[in-house]
Structure 1
């Protein structure tokens, strides 16, 4: 079994880099993350290494939002989901699903969805694995 993550990182494009960096600087601490790197037109966030980037498109054309695309961040508990949502709303996000359970995602799920100032859909979710149904032992 490999402990190497499936994804190295994800990036979202922005048409207003300074606004995007200010937004993510305001919300990422709720998840225990911070800005780890910055280059002209690109900034990276994470807990230990740069996992999430926000940047102006390298080809110089306008960034746009992917229909059906969203980025999901892991929260450590329900309070972190709420703190993320509150920070996002205070920083200019548009709500797209208030913090709470989503029974159709499974009993352990508690999360929220917002749209960042560029319109990208982002999620913070906590999975309470203590609520996961126990599987019977199979011999």
Structure 2
């Protein structure tokens, strides 16, 4: 359904450090900076681009928006969370753990905000 996700950032170096750490915990390679100064990550068929807004205004987080990253296990979600906090992210919501996802079943969730304030989640679907 999606071709890519693009997030705004005010400090590309801080965002690259954060996403290199968190996405690295999920098995992704370090992001590369393209000729436009954007950081690009390609992993598991997904494409994430982190960039300064092209209109020159400051980047801001979407109110009510969350970007979710698939984790292969609860341990991988925990590693993602720990890497993010160590790389300048902020732990938010409840501590990582299992939550009742209603019709989606049990979910292992871990939440962070990146250095630009974007809300992120690592999600592992717990087998029934």
TM-score normalised by L of structure 1: 0.82
Q: Tell me the secondary structure at the aligned position of residue 68 of structure 2.
A: strand
Tell me the residue number matched to 1:123. 121
Partner in structure 2 of residue 55 of structure 1: 51
CA RMSD of aligned residues (A): 1.6
- Which of structures 1 and 2 has the larger relative contact order (alpha carbons within 8 angstroms, sep 6+)? 2
- In structure 1, the partner of 2:8 is 13
Determine if contact 2:39/2:49 at 8 Å carries over to the other structure.
yes
Aligned counterparts, 1:1-139, within 5 A: 6-35=1-30, 37-39=32-34, 40-49=36-45, 51-97=47-93, 98-105=95-102, 106-128=104-126, 130-131=127-128
Structure 1: unaligned runs, 5 residues or longer = 1-5, 132-139
Q: Deviations for 1:49-108, whole angstroms, at most 9, x for unmatched residues?
A: 551111111122211111001100000111100000100111111111321011145433
Find the structure with the greater CA-based Rg: 1
